[in-house]
Chains A and B, each alone.
Chain A
């Protein structure tokens, strides 16, 4: 057991975790942030993507103890009350959601991308999102959603 301190979506947590607990499991099962999903458990699908200290990471292959002192953002922190983020709005508008299982991970990868690069090219989008598998949409609408979100944020003048 170790005691860890971290913030999730701006809220402070102090928590006892076992050494071998995975961050994704702690987020989902202890803190009930079930938005992040487990699609593979091995860093290969991106469904568990959260943002840790500003960077998109696959939380299924990170120990909870490694998150000590970090600042974590999950899909649950992307909307405030009835207000959803530009990225979320863009995903809806572009019909980039089918079953929705990959969606939280996609949105978090998109957020990390736009935070560091407000006007991404197709190639930038491919690099940032190719670790997020979607089996439903064929990705076309997702790419459009990322671009639309960038426009909403004022990144692209086109």
Chain B
């Protein structure tokens, strides 16, 4: 084939189904006899459940099942098993489900929920992480010591600390003693919602023999299956999880959510299928979010800009559950000083329970949050010692030969953060920040910020892929990695097409995910999809190539080594006009006389993370990272000196993606990610009342960017190949949104000198700082 397949912008798989409205999301699915579920939610942030009376609800015609926490003695969770399906004995956040109903119609379900009477006794709530770690703070989980967790997490019984990651490198005391300057700052940011456009939706159908079939809007069908099996004590093989089209995830649909609840409701409703759909308000109130973060950074730096010591404290506002939050805390800690080499580091990262909606994975997995502190601190340090924000980053940035805070050595095959930084600084003309052309009172500012992230996952994370031929010589590729918008399937199809030298439209990636028929994948998270599934798909393709050659070698009368794959054919290397087409081999090769050999061809490939180790609990040393993707942003803003109003004029974003397998989709990821980061930066954030009620629970109150908000954006793709990545590729799904808040904060500081330390960056806060500076 003449065409270069890798690096091409192949059109997205399933675009036609989506653009015609034909794509069926779980929202759109109806199963015959289906009931509708509705939850009763806690109005209090922290309260004892004194009594729940469901008699009236149960007697309402059309109601099939009413459940409360009492009937569900299960705990569910991924890393720390601390979640109730419905609150048991007490509620830990406003919006926590305390009871649920399955009924024939949505109206009846809603009515029944209204008829459930719950008596509460209010308890003192703790809403702030710094208060939550104090000795006499109210406890969110009194039984923390009894909860099950993965062996790499260490809950502290009798406290609100669900996990504590420690990283120790060098000797910070000595480092600070030698430093010319010591600069300390605190930073905060609020919880943020994913706001995937499809809210969480699940259907379960309970079947005889303790079996269940589930349709769900989830990122990771096998994680749902595994956690459901563990939580409800079912056999894995008795659970079928189907994931059709999913309307966005961004981490919010990783792990497990309402699948256990609908399963229990269906069981209680004699096996009628039960569907639950979160309303947008419930999505804000009762579905997990990105954690809030308090950071304290103390930096020792020399006159020349060399950072010699760094002491960091992260307190993560995990809300009422930490099943996923503990791992965010851990993963972010391993990246905890940014893409810089610092000799002496002491870092403490703690997951803290509070009485708020709980945290989970969100695109970037803790990194946007820590980079808010790290990259703002960098500019505050630069300002204090009088050097350029660009120079201080170049001075300390990771290079080949650097050692990270967990002891990893940066080698030739790693990406180049400094190259990304150079590119964006050039693109925004960083040194030139003249304001002469602007009206009076307006000031131009420019900022840069870097970023890095590696996939956060267990050391033994694995995935697999199946390939099978169709009768006409086309291929079906099956993976259980999901594609809920990232475009991974399109890239995987390109890989198969390249490996087997065939047109990409002859590779059909099976869309609907099903745990019954698909090979295992741990989870679709962490930007590891293309890297890991890409490698598995390469192996499967090679397996298929080998099988094709083996069958073809007989009729072609030569050894396998003498065969090559070209243009959908197996050809004899030295006589390229002698060949057999894939189509002739697909279902087994048939000789003229009717004899046949081979048989339908099926191939497989797998991949498991290589060489990762658990971190030492006392020092954090080890290898946590499959691959690091580095990047940088440059931003130009214009700020009103009087009011704090500002306009982001331009964003330049560069990422070392190793190799862009599908350029157009990489750019799509960058654009989408940058704008999501922009939302976090300038408008998004949960606000609570003093008694812990969520105030921002609609799109009226919680704003996300619209088409009218987007600034000029220049995506820059840097390609320094990753040795073990498929074609050298690295993941880039999460990275675009990282450091967007920091770079905007940096540019605003550059323009008018205000030291903004709280997210989101809004005129109200800038104005307060302007006033304070007067």
Contact = CB atoms under 8 A, between A and B. Distances in A.
A139 B710 contact: yes
B668 A129 contact: no
A11 interface: no
B197 A34 contact: no
- Of A42, A79, A140, chain B has the most CB atoms within 10 Å of the CB of A140
Interface string B661-678: 000110110011111100
A138 B21 contact: no
A43 to B, nearest CB: 9
A138 B674 contact: yes
- Of A78, A95, A99, A103, chain B has the most CB atoms within 10 Å of the CB of A99
Interface string A124-153: 011101111111111111110000000000
A77 to B, nearest CB: 9
Nearest to A140: B671
B12 interface: yes
Contact of B197 (A39, A125, A138): A39
Contacts of B197: 37, 39, 45, 47, 99, 101-102, 133-136
B19 A97 contact: yes
B485 A91 contact: no
B280 to A, nearest CB: 4
B19 A126 contact: no
A98 interface: yes
B202 to A, nearest CB: 16
B16 A126 contact: no
Interface residues of A, number: 53
B375 to A, nearest CB: 21
A37 B27 contact: yes
A101 B19 contact: no
Nearest to B672: A138
A59 interface: no
A95 B9 contact: yes
B24 interface: yes
A131 B195 CA distance: 15
Given A84-B20, A95-B665, A126 B707 contact: yes
Contacts of A126: 706-708
Interface string A38-54: 11111011010000000
Contacts of B19: 84, 88, 91-92, 97, 100, 103, 107
Given A39-B198, A42-B699, A141-B671, A103 B18 contact: yes
A79 B247 CA distance: 22
B279 interface: yes
Interface in B692-706: 698-700, 704-706
A95 B490 CA distance: 12
**SS class, residues of chain A in contact with chain B:** loop
Nearest to B671: A138
B248 interface: yes
B23 interface: yes
A42 B700 contact: yes
A41 B668 CA distance: 28
A101 B247 contact: yes
A23 interface: no
Contact of A78 (B20, B28, B699, B705): B20
Contact of B672 (A40, A98, A100, A101): A98
B707 A98 contact: no
A104 B699 CA distance: 19
Contacts of B700: 42, 44
A75 interface: yes
Interface in B318-341: none
B533 to A, nearest CB: 18
26 contacts: A29-B30, A34-B21, A34-B24, A35-B22, A37-B25, A39-B197, A39-B198, A45-B197, A47-B197, A76-B20, A93-B11, A95-B668, A100-B17, A100-B485, A101-B25, A101-B198, A103-B19, A107-B19, A126-B706, A127-B708, A133-B706, A134-B197, A134-B707, A135-B195, A136-B485, A138-B671
10 smallest CB-CB distances across A and B, nearest first, come from A35-B21, A100-B18, A101-B247, A99-B485, A75-B21, A98-B485, A138-B675, A44-B699, A138-B671, A34-B28
Interface of B: 9, 11-12, 14-25, 27-28, 30, 194-199, 245-250, 279-280, 484-487, 664-665, 667-668, 671-676, 698-700, 704-708, 710, 713
Given A127-B708, A136-B672, 7 more contacts: A29-B30, A45-B699, A95-B9, A95-B11, A101-B245, A135-B195, A142-B707
